[in-house]
Amino acid sequence: MESQLGLIEESFDFRYSGWVREALDEMPDCFTITDPCISGHPIVFASNGFLKMVGYSREEVIGKNGRIFQGPETERRSVMEIREAIREERPMQIKLLNYRKDGTPFWMLFQMCPVFSKEDGRVINFVGVQVPILRTPRLSGLRTVRNEIRLCEGGGGEGFRDTVFRCCRREVCSDSILELGRASAPESVSSHDDIEDVINEPCEASELEKTKASAAINNILSVLMHYSELTGRLVCRKRCCLTANGQLVASLNISLGRIKQSFVLTDAHLPDMPIVYASEAFLKLTGYARHEVLGRNCRFLSGTDTDPTTQFQIKECIRIQEACTVRILNYRKDGTSFWNFLHISPVRNATGKVAFFVGVQIEDCCKNQETHGLSPQMRHRSVVGAIKVAVRGLSMGASTS
């Protein structure tokens, strides 16, 4: 868990200057920042306002996916709309029923915006702003009655009206509350079902709330862009540069993050075929951080005792766009060597053209070893198959949209 949190912090701090957290903490808005390049698309920053709103501590939120705030009455269609916007890397705004740590539901206006790398057009982060939606006077009255009823429960056998009026403050006993009291039966008071139903009723955000969400997005993006300039790793609100597979690779991040094996994906259309995706297992195996891997050719894993003949075999298979499996001596970041049972395969898009090459690595002491009941060859095929399905499926969706 600590290593995962360290990876999350390193990912965020690599892109932005160290002062960015302090600047974001000073903002009054409720918002989170997520990283789609890390497995599980976790939250990497949560504002003080957001933490206060949901009742969680920072340690309970960082590293978690935003679905921890969803509950039984959260509309599945709204969740799917958010997922679709993430896949298509576009901004969106939607009302959503979420839940605080204590289980109480609340309606919010959720506005999300992608953050792009200015260098290669990849999605680096998503910013999500949450603005609580103020409810109608009817709901406010029901909440007041419910709170007063809870204070009065256990107070004896008096009737509903006597109990409520004895416990209510004078300012609570307004005409609207009287009407609510007359309309409520004792049995409904004990269950509170009607009140809960009203809380879960959909509501509409006001223009003021929509304006507040948009303004917060603009302010947060301004901070991120400013502090990315200090590191030289610039970010922007709109994709400024797009590689041959840039949009597709960014969309694949979520799907690829579910694959637990060690693998990398390289861009077949770019010079020197740089790595555009590295799995968590690959980073753990080699000891490198993600930013030390992306954009490099896989040969950086080779060292003084790596067999040139094996390297040439890999190069030829890539040239003729065929799969190959080799056993090659590679090196970790700390200089220690390991035998890599490596499988390389071309990955074609929906049109049949090679878009990527996938390299699947298994640390290998014995060529015929088996792990968890699966041979290395079966594990290779499993990873390659999952990646091919994801690439073809997403590219087909892009061609029809």
- Summarize pLDDT for 82-118 with one digit per residue, the tens: 988 888 788 999 999 999 999 999 999 999 999 998 8
Q: What residues have CB less than 8 Å from 266, skipping those under 6 apart?
A: 273, 274, 275, 276, 297, 298, 356, 357, 358, 359
- For residue 77, being part of any structural domain is answered with yes
Average pLDDT taken over every residue of the chain: 79
CA dist., res. 222 & res. 107, Å (int): 27
Pair 118, 230 in one domain = yes
Of 25-34, 128-137, 163-172, 208-217, where does mean pLDDT reach its minimum?
Answer: 163-172
Pair 370, 254 in one domain = yes
Asked if 377 and 370 touch (Cβ cutoff 8 Å), the reply is no
String of DSSP letters for 140-152: HHHHHHHHHHHHH
Q: Among 364, 392, 394, which residue's Cα sits nearest to residue 379?
A: 364
Q: How far is CA 126 from CA 204, 253, 334, in A?
A: 24, 13, 33
Domain range enclosing 45: 2-135+203-236
Q: Is 308 left (phi over 0), alpha (psi -120 to 50) or beta?
A: alpha
pTM metric for this prediction? 0.56
- For residue 219, being part of any structural domain is answered with yes
The alpha carbon torsion through 291, 354, 383, 278 (nearest 10 deg) reads 0
- For residue 241, being part of any structural domain is answered with no
- For residue 285, being part of any structural domain is answered with yes
Mind listing the pLDDT tens digit for each residue in 340-381? Answer: 999 999 998 777 888 899 999 999 764 444 455 567 788 888
- For residue 309, being part of any structural domain is answered with yes
Q: Is 41 left (phi over 0), alpha (psi -120 to 50) or beta?
A: left
Please count the structural domains in the chain. 3
pLDDT beyond 60 at 33: yes
Confidence of residue 5 (pLDDT cuts 50, 70, 90): low
Q: How far is CA 82 from CA 86, 90, 94, 221, in A?
A: 6, 10, 8, 19
Pair 308, 333 in one domain = yes
Pair 79, 214 in one domain = yes
Pair 305, 164 in one domain = no
pLDDT beyond 60 at 42: yes
- CATH number of the domain where residue 327 is located: 3.30.450.20
- DSSP assigned state of 136: P
Pair 340, 266 in one domain = yes
Structure token digits, residue 215: 């303004």
Pair 124, 141 in one domain = no
Pair 220, 191 in one domain = no
- DSSP assigned state of 352: S
Pair 67, 214 in one domain = yes
Pair 277, 372 in one domain = yes
pLDDT value, residue 389 = 82
pLDDT value, residue 259 = 87
- For residue 196, being part of any structural domain is answered with yes
- For residue 102, being part of any structural domain is answered with yes
Of the two residues 320 and 254, the one the predictor is more confident about is 320
